[in-house]
Amino acid sequence: MENLHLCPIPYLLLDRQFNLIDASNTGYDFLKPGENFMSIVEDESSPKFARIIHKYSEGEMELNLKKDDSFELFDIHYLLSDIQQCYHVVLIAKDHQYQKVSEQMNGLFDLMGQSTYPRKEPNLTEVLAKVSSLYLKLSNTSDWNRQEVMGKIKEIEQHLQQSVK
């Protein structure tokens, strides 16, 4: 594909056996020519990927992919080209979304853990609004680690309720 290397996000061209044919420059950060896409898909996600991509010729899904010796969550958008007999695959990282919520939650924990926090008599309505905002952001993300973060939100809510009494 002409000028594929200019695409700013990871864009992969895969044959029907999921071997890499060509990629954008950022796509080559994941695979080298001839390598198989399944080699970077987390083992638990492999059956999901194979089932969905064979059932539908185009779509999107979430997958954990190996990148830099660890796994990251990605939105995968794909399209099977009957003319070229290959899959066009775009990878969009989702870790930054979870990371942002996690950093905000940790900020609230730090604030609540400071000894000066209770003495300042904080505006509890404002803190509850922040917690609610985080909850709404979290409800718009994937199920990935949602239970862990939801548990932390419950702890914050309980702490706030105890402070109000």
What are the sequence ranges of the domains in the chain? Answer: 4-93, 96-164
DSSP, res 29? G
Query: Which residue do the tokens 């990251």 mark?
Result: 72
The pLDDT value given to residue 45: 85
Please give the residue that has the higher pLDDT: either 61 or 158.
61
- Per-residue pLDDT tens digits for 126-145: 777 777 677 666 665 555 56
User: Strand locations in the chain, DSSP E?
Assistant: 11-14, 20-23, 58-67, 70-81, 86-93
The pLDDT value given to residue 142: 57
Share of residues in the chain with pLDDT > 90 (%)? 24
- Per-residue pLDDT tens digits for 99-123: 666 676 777 766 666 655 444 455 6
The mean pLDDT of the chain is: 78
CATH dotted code for 4-93: 3.30.450.20
Query: In angstroms, rounded to a whole number, what is the distance separating the alpha carbons of residues 1 and 86?
Result: 11
CA–centroid distance for 66 within its chain: 13
Q: Is the pLDDT of residue 55 over 70?
A: yes
Please give the residue that has the higher pLDDT: either 96 or 143.
96
Provide the whole-model pTM.
Answer: 0.58
